[in-house]
Copies of this chain bind each other. A is one copy, B any other.
Amino acid sequence: MSEAPRLDRQVCFALYSASKAATAVYRPVLDELGLTYPQYLVMLVLWENEPRSVRELGTELGLDSGTLSPLLKRLEAMGLVERRRSAEDERRVEIHLSDAGRALSARAGAVPQRLADAAGLSAAELAQLHDTLGRLTAALHSAI
């Protein structure tokens, strides 16, 4: 006879809880920037390199156009990005940072430290966690 799985034993639930707790720690900081967590992720990618197409953003973040299209519209309504149809390929929409969007980067510099401070783990443990999660995510993706 088959044993019912136990909630507290599941790595999947541990991941789900940790991820929710991490975004909860970020939330008050991001509130001051006027961003949600997924919006912050999009801005992170753009701060690294812009413009980026919707497709490129989706590849980096693992999100599809059904999630990104309305999110980007909200960022545009906030005045942080501009959406421009690409001239070379009219299917593509390029997301450019506005001046306000670029300026927000400076204020966002302190955000990640907030998580590190709250994490209660050593730098080495955080580095190892990051590494393990990266390998786990890669393996899970190749399993789908």
Count of identical protomers in the assembly:
2
If A4-B48, A132-B125 touch, whether A11 touches B108 (CB-CB below 8 Å) is no
Closest to A27 in B: B144
Q: Which among A18, A19, A115, A130 has the highest number of chain B CB atoms within 10 Å? A: A18
Given the complex, which residues of B lie within 8 Å of A12, measured CB to CB? 22-23, 26, 37, 112, 115
Given the complex, which residues of B lie within 8 Å of A135, measured CB to CB? 120-121
| A5 close to chain B: CB less than 8 A | yes
Closest to A21 in B: B140
Q: Residues of A with Cβ closer than 8 Å to B?
A: 1-7, 9-26, 37, 41, 44-45, 47-48, 60, 62, 105-106, 108-112, 115-121, 125-126, 128-130, 132-144
A13 touches which of B3, B41, B106, B109 (Cβ 8 Å)? B41
A-B CB contact pairs (8 Å), 5 listed: A2-B110, A4-B44, A6-B48, A12-B112, A120-B136
| Interface SS, A side | helix
B41–A140 CB distance below 8 A:
no
A15–B15 CB distance below 8 A:
yes
